[in-house]
Structure formats: C-alpha cells, structure tokens
Amino acid sequence: MQPRNKIVVASQHYPPDPGTTAAIMGEIACRLAAEHEVVVLSGWPGALPPSQIGPKKPRVVAVENQVADKAALARRGISELLFVLRIFVALLRQLRRGDVVLTVTAPFMLPYAVAAAAWLKGARSALIMHDLFPDVLVMAGLLRPRSIVASMMRAANGLMFRVLNAVVTIGRDAERPLLSYSCMTRGKIRFIPNWATLAPGVRPMTSDNPFRKMRPACFIVGLSGNLGFTHDPEIVFEAARLLKDEADIHFLLSGWGIGFERLKQLQADTNLPNVSFVARVEDAELEAFLAAADLWIIPYRKDVAGVSVPSRFYNLLAVGRPVVLVSEAEAEAALTVKENGLGWVVTPGRADQLARAIRAASSSDAAGMAQRAVTAASQFDRSAALNAYAALVGELLHHSNLSE
C-alpha cells in the first residue's frame, strides 16, 4: 500500500521562538496535523511548548541555524544562506512526489530553495508572503530599484512564481505587485489575513499596570515589536521632539531590531524628557504592556503598500487600542484603519502629521474607537484563517496547480 502524501512546513521561525511569525507557523502546522502527516523543518532549536507536543501534532526536525544580529548584515547574510542550503538538502530528503511543502518569506532566500526542491521532487509548493522582495529592500533603501541585484531578484521571482502552486497573501494590497509578474495568475493567489494571538476584548486602563506606573496620569503613546529596515525610527523620535513640551503626552518604547538601536542612539544624544524605554517584553507580559498605552504607533517608511503587513497590528486591535499608522493610504493596514474608524493614517516622512495625530488622539474620546478596534480584531478570526490554510492544502494534495 502506497503511503499517503504528507505536508512539510519549512520555517526559520518556529516555537519555541517567541516571535509572531513563529507563533503563526506553529498554529498553522498544528491545524494541518489534525488531518495530515506534518513534518516541520525548523530553524529554532529548543524544547517545544506543550501545545506542540502529543498525538496529531507535527513532527519537528531542527535544522542547524546560526542566528546573527540583524545589524551585522554580512554575517547575517552568510548565516541565512547556510541555513537555506541546509533546508534545501533536508527537503530533498523529506519530499516525495505529491507531497505539499509550505514556507514563508523569512529569510528571503528560503522560498527559492523550497520552490526548487519541490520542483525537483515532484511535490507541490505554497508560499505565505509576509514580505515581497526585492521591493522590501528597495523600500528600506538597501537596493536601488533598477540595480543589477534588484533585477536579478525579480528574474528569480519570475521563475519561482512559475513553479509555486499557490501564494498566500496576508494583505489585499499584495495582489497588484504580484500580478506584475507575467507568470502569476489570480488563480494562484489566496488572501488569508493573519489574526490576533490575544483574545479580542477592551482592556481597561488600570492604575496598577506595571508599565504605566512611571507616568500614571499621562497619555501614553506606545511603540512595540521588531523595528527593522522597513520601519522609520526617526519619524517617531522627531514627533516626540515636537511634543516634548506637552507634559501630558509620554512615549513608551519597547522592542528590538536595528530601528530600536537607532532610537536608543537618538535618545542618548538628545535625552528627551517625554521618552522612556522598556526592555523587550516577554509573552507573559505582552497583554499588560499593550494595555498600558492609550495609542500605538506603527511607523513604516514610504512605499509599504503591497510589500509588508505589520503582524503586531492585530494584537493592538485585540486589546482595544486605537493606532496611528505611518503608511500609504492604499496599504492593507491603512485600509483596515480607514474602513473601520480605528485611528489615524499619516504620510511617511511627515513627523509633523504624526505629532498632530497624537495630539488629536490625546484629546479625543477613545471609547467608541476602542470598541471598534475589538470588533475589527474579531473579524480576523484564527479558526477561519486556519481552516482556509487546511482547505488550500487539501486542494494542493489533489491538484497540481490552483490556476488549472
């Protein structure tokens, strides 16, 4: 009797990694394992959490992965290339004809290796597109739009999109840049948005919140999470400088990444009285931290539309907090903010607009906005998204290409 086809999930980030991508990939793998054999090729060693252990759970295979600091670009590039090569070899060993392999765009070289291995082994492949390269690198100022490297990456994308059987987008704005590739068809694209990892519900402001004790009477403006190359730390700091004389507004910043190192450098040079930093918040304290702020900032550089979607966005809505988003109006998160009345959208690079939005938020009645945020978060349902992934994989197990 011929063995049933299996699903292989290839992801650098996977539990026990505490990041959002890891949590999402872990939940997807567990949902698929309820109906199929699932093997996870993970780049994150360590003991798995209880939710990942037991019958009808994925079998996790750790792939050696030397994680370099994001600021060390050359060392990081080499370590990620080695990880991708190890994943490619592992896939050649794991995949059989008719299997399905699911991956994500981190690191950016991983999807190319996954598509190539699936093609060689006669397997089917799907990509969850969190970021579109080289567009992200162009947006971050690391590549010129018409450079040789950018052109080579777009040519590689053309080959990859031709081979891939499905591309999952988490933002509606991603369809247009994808369809600019002649080999991409609407039949291959599935829109499955991410979801909040916290249960939706308005969290009240409390005097005993440990993150508000330093400024209990202030209007707290929060910034949290990974601040990478696509984000703009300067606009946050400049807005804080413009508001430094307004004693009732205070900035509470916590996270990691090259952008936060830049913020710390700016604060060390200027020492603004209305800016405080908190060490990276662990998962157990995340809910309390998100509930500590009255308003949250998501600061993108220009040209974010169709390129990247902030995964932290959904948890900010889930705790019932308005947001001010630095982004083009047509980007996915901006569309959600506008359609549901969840906060403010300001033009990238305009610190004066950001400062005005924060000032407006500090004097507005946020009760209605908080409830609308929770309602919007409820629409991004975990079960619906996971069922959509299960349906997609079911189609791939029975059809070679969704566009056929």
Regarding whether 225 and 313 lie in a shared domain, the answer is yes
Residue 308 banded pLDDT, cuts 50, 70, 90 = confident
What confidence score (pLDDT) does residue 51 get? 86
Instruction: Classify residue 207: in a domain, yes or no.
Output: no
Left (φ > 0), alpha (ψ -120 to 50) or beta: where does 302 sit? beta
Residue 217 banded pLDDT, cuts 50, 70, 90 = confident
Burial zone of 190 (CB within 10 Å; 0-12 exposed, 13-18 middle, 19+ buried) = middle
Regarding whether 150 and 17 lie in a shared domain, the answer is yes
SS (H, E, C) the chain: CCCCCCEEEEECCCCCCCCHHHHHHHHHHHHHHCCCCEEEEECCCCCCCHHHCCCCCCEEEECCCCCCCCCCHHHHHHHHHHHHHHHHHHHHHHCCCCCEEEEECCCCCHHHHHHHHHHHHCCEEEEEECECCCHHHHHCCCCCCCCHHHHHHHHHHHHHHHHCCEEEECCHHHHHHHHCCCCCCHHHEEECCCCCCCCCCCCCCCCCCCCCCCCCCCEEEEEEEECCCCECHHHHHHHHHHCCCCCCEEEEEEEECHHHHHHHHHHHHHCCCCEEEECCCCHHHHHHHHHHCCEEEEEECCCCCCCECCCCHHHHHHCCCCEEEECCCCCHHHHHHHHHCCEEEECCCCHHHHHHHHHHHHCCCCHHHHHHHHHHHHHCCHHHHHHHHHHHHHHHHHCCCCCC
Asked whether residue 288 carries a pLDDT value surpassing 90, the answer given is: yes
* Gap between the Cα atoms of 376 and 158, Å rounded: 35
Residue 71 banded pLDDT, cuts 50, 70, 90 = low
Structure tokens at 312: 């932290």
Asked whether residue 2 carries a pLDDT value surpassing 60, the answer given is: no
pLDDT digits 0-9 by tens, 126-182: 999 998 899 888 888 888 989 999 999 999 999 999 999 999 999 888 999 999 998
Regarding whether 292 and 185 lie in a shared domain, the answer is no
Regarding whether 174 and 236 lie in a shared domain, the answer is no
Regarding whether 292 and 162 lie in a shared domain, the answer is no
Regarding whether 356 and 336 lie in a shared domain, the answer is yes
What confidence score (pLDDT) does residue 1 get? 40
- Domain of 347 in residue numbering reads as 219-379
Please provide the average confidence, as pLDDT, over all residues in the chain.
Answer: 90
Residue 274 banded pLDDT, cuts 50, 70, 90 = very high
Kindly report the pTM of this predicted structure. Answer: 0.86
Regarding whether 175 and 257 lie in a shared domain, the answer is no
Asked whether residue 254 carries a pLDDT value surpassing 70, the answer given is: yes
Asked whether residue 238 carries a pLDDT value surpassing 70, the answer given is: yes
What confidence score (pLDDT) does residue 72 get? 60
* Gap between the Cα atoms of 102 and 191, Å rounded: 15
Instruction: Classify residue 13: in a domain, yes or no.
Output: yes
Residues of the chain with pLDDT > 70, as a percent, come to 96
Regarding whether 386 and 239 lie in a shared domain, the answer is no
Instruction: Classify residue 322: in a domain, yes or no.
Output: yes
Regarding whether 224 and 85 lie in a shared domain, the answer is no
Burial zone of 234 (CB within 10 Å; 0-12 exposed, 13-18 middle, 19+ buried) = middle
> What's the rounded mean pLDDT across residues 16-43?
93
Top-ranked range on mean pLDDT: pick from 183-187, 256-260, 390-394: 390-394
pLDDT digits 0-9 by tens, 334-357: 999 999 999 999 999 999 999 999
Instruction: Classify residue 204: in a domain, yes or no.
Output: no
Specify the CATH number for the domain of residue 276: 3.40.50.2000
Instruction: Classify residue 112: in a domain, yes or no.
Output: yes
> What's the rounded mean pLDDT across residues 214-237?
89
What confidence score (pLDDT) does residue 346 get? 96
Please indicate whether residue 320 or residue 205 has the higher confidence score (pLDDT).
320
Instruction: Classify residue 141: in a domain, yes or no.
Output: yes
Instruction: Classify residue 403: in a domain, yes or no.
Output: no
Instruction: Classify residue 365: in a domain, yes or no.
Output: yes
Q: How many domains does the chain have?
A: 2
Asked whether residue 228 carries a pLDDT value surpassing 50, the answer given is: yes
Regarding whether 278 and 247 lie in a shared domain, the answer is yes
Regarding whether 95 and 117 lie in a shared domain, the answer is yes
Residue the block writes with tokens 């919140």: 209
Regarding whether 260 and 337 lie in a shared domain, the answer is yes
* Gap between the Cα atoms of 293 and 218, Å rounded: 10
What confidence score (pLDDT) does residue 207 get? 80
Measuring CA to CA, which residue among 328, 312, 319, 364 is closest to residue 343?
A: 364
